Amino acid sequence: MGDDSAIRLAAFDWLRHQVAVHGEVLPWSLLVRGFEHGGERVPLVSQQGIFKPRLLVLPLSIRTAMGGNYDDSISPEGLLRYRYRGTDRFHRENLGLRQAMENHVPLVHFHALSQGRYLATWPVYIVGDDPGQLTFTVEINEMTHALQGADFEIAEPRREYVTATFRRRLHQLAFRERVLHAYRERCTMCRLRHRELLDAAHIVPDQEPEGIPAVSNGLSLCKLHHAAFDSLFVTVDTDYRVVVRGDVLDEKDGPMLLHGLQELHGRPIELPRRTEWLPSRNALSLHLRRFSAAS
């Protein structure tokens, strides 16, 4: 099992690097290509939901497809429910997960947030098997752990925290994916196209009752304009035009201020393609009210 452990560590390190470069949501093309180990390629996913690369004895990853309610896949005990491959509990992929459970082997969980884009969480552990429900139960750990032979037992209060964090990440990242898709992966104010530099900004903050996680309450903004929007340096009026705060328009502070903010004043934003994705005028009115008070 020495090579198996070394390859898992290499997979975790590779994922850590990819998240640092590409962000938390990774594309299928990157995951299926994988990395090289000892002169051989190690993919992290395939069309099978339970995946074991050729070089490994036991599965490396499990994958949750799009669809279904995130919260429904979490048990009351804070464990992820994962369906068998088919209905045969002795299918080789199910046997592989059962053996991973017996040996306490860490896996990667990939959760589809949009077409071809996945949230990676590792290490996770198979900790239960329910043939009656055709499901395994999966314990979510934290990405900071490495495979060092330690027995990572999660106490109940900590499990609740980890599960809540996982659930929150799923919802936040799914919101980002939907908003970026609606705006064709560009900043609605400056048209910047680099996905790594884009955020999904809530028009009404998500902690407020009106701050629903719907595309109509979101704007695709680069990091500069997201910060400016949240700090009330800029807003968008109900005619979908950028409004820059008066004192910011009067400032003189070099080309970044001029081209990054002042020149946007009065310019129409780039709108989504579908009517139901258009920014809510009610949400914009609420933001405009806060913006006016700050002015």
Parent domain of 56: 2-156
If one counts the domains in the chain, the total is 2
Domain assignment of residue 175, yes or no = no
Higher per-residue pLDDT: 169 or 208:
208
Domain assignment of residue 173, yes or no = no
Identify the CATH number of the domain in which residue 44 sits: 2.30.280
Q: Are residues 193 and 100 in the same domain?
A: no
Domain assignment of residue 169, yes or no = no
Domain assignment of residue 162, yes or no = no
Q: Are residues 142 and 9 in the same domain?
A: yes
- In the chain, how many H helices and how many E strands? 8, 13
Residues 6+ apart with CB under 8 A from 274: 182
Q: Are residues 197 and 149 in the same domain?
A: no
pTM: 0.79
Per-residue pLDDT tens digits for 143-163: 443 333 334 444 455 566 666
Exposed e or buried b per residue across 190-213, where buried means at least 16 C-beta atoms within 10 angstroms of its C-beta: bebeebeebbbbbbbeeeeeeebb
How many CB atoms sit inside 10 A of residue 274's CB? 9
d(CA 114, CA 170): 11
Q: Are residues 129 and 29 in the same domain?
A: yes
Domain assignment of residue 171, yes or no = no
d(CA 16, CA 20): 6
Q: Across residues 220-248, what is the average pLDDT?
A: 97
DSSP state of 196: G
pLDDT above 70: residue 286? yes
Q: Are residues 24 and 62 in the same domain?
A: yes
Q: What is the structure's pLDDT at 34?
A: 97
Q: Are residues 8 and 151 in the same domain?
A: yes
Q: Are residues 139 and 13 in the same domain?
A: yes
Is residue 75 within 8 A of residue 66, CB to CB? The reply is no
Domain assignment of residue 21, yes or no = yes
